[in-house]
Structure 1
Amino acid sequence: MSIEKVSFDHLLEEYRLIWNHRLLDTMGKSSKDTLLEAIKRELLDENSHPRIRKSKFEKYFFAIKRVSDSTVSLEAKVHLIKIHNKVMEELR
């Protein structure tokens, strides 16, 4: 199943469940853009103080582990992991 054919509204809800209802900047953005930006910020560790930030590779590992260990549907897990892969490839 293609990432483009998935409901980003639903995936964004699932992402928020995994990351404890994290507040996301949605002002004038689509669900897809909001989700991609949130994942990018997570992988770049922009939610942490600069002195304690981890590498994007460490953050990627922890993000994938958190998604796979979560209680969201298998389908949502697969899509979220694919999106993490896509964002990580863009950051390399």
Structure 2
Amino acid sequence: MIIDAYKRLWPNRQAVQRITTDAELENSVRIELNDELTHPRLRKSVEEKLQLAYRRIEESELSEDEKTALIELYKKLAAH
């Protein structure tokens, strides 16, 4: 369920569409939170990326359960 929700959150990202396991999902979220795909001088902080993710999730058309599950995943991974 959460993998499908994440895929719907990022429909145009090919790497996201290939996710099939929870470990791959967590790795993708970590990469996003650490802004690893952005040039080092332009990277945002984890806190900024977390707020952007929250906003994207809340504004999405996902169900409330899916939104809650994704937000909890982001919180958990941002804390590490």
The match for 1:64 among 35, 54, 58 is 54
Indicate the residue corresponding to 2:75 in structure 1: 85
Question: What TM-score do the two structures reach when normalised by structure 2?
Answer: 0.86
Fraction of identical pairs, as percent: 30
* Residue aligned with 2:57, SS: helix
Indicate the residue corresponding to 2:26 in structure 1: 36
Unpaired stretches in structure 2, ≥5 consecutive residues: none
* Residue aligned with 1:24, SS: helix
Residue 48 of structure 1 aligns with an amino acid whose one-letter code is: T
RMSD value, Cα: 2.1
The match for 1:13 among 4, 20, 24 is 4
In the alignment, the residues of structure 2 paired with residue 65 and residue 25 of structure 1 have an alpha-carbon distance, to the nearest angstrom, of 19
Indicate the residue corresponding to 1:75 in structure 2: 65
Q: 1:45 to 1:52 in 2, by over 3 A?
A: same
Q: Over residues 9-37 of structure 1, what are the superposed CA-to-partner deviations in whole Å (9 max), with x where a residue is unaligned? A: x211211221234223798x851101111
Q: Quick check: 2:9–2:60 contact (8 Å CA) kept in 1?
A: yes
Aligned residues: 80
In the alignment, the residues of structure 2 paired with residue 53 and residue 82 of structure 1 have an alpha-carbon distance, to the nearest angstrom, of 23
In the alignment, the residues of structure 2 paired with residue 25 and residue 86 of structure 1 have an alpha-carbon distance, to the nearest angstrom, of 19
Q: Quick check: which has more Rg, 1 or 2?
A: 1
Question: What TM-score do the two structures reach when normalised by structure 1?
Answer: 0.76
Q: Which stretch shifts more, 18-27 or 66-75?
A: 18-27
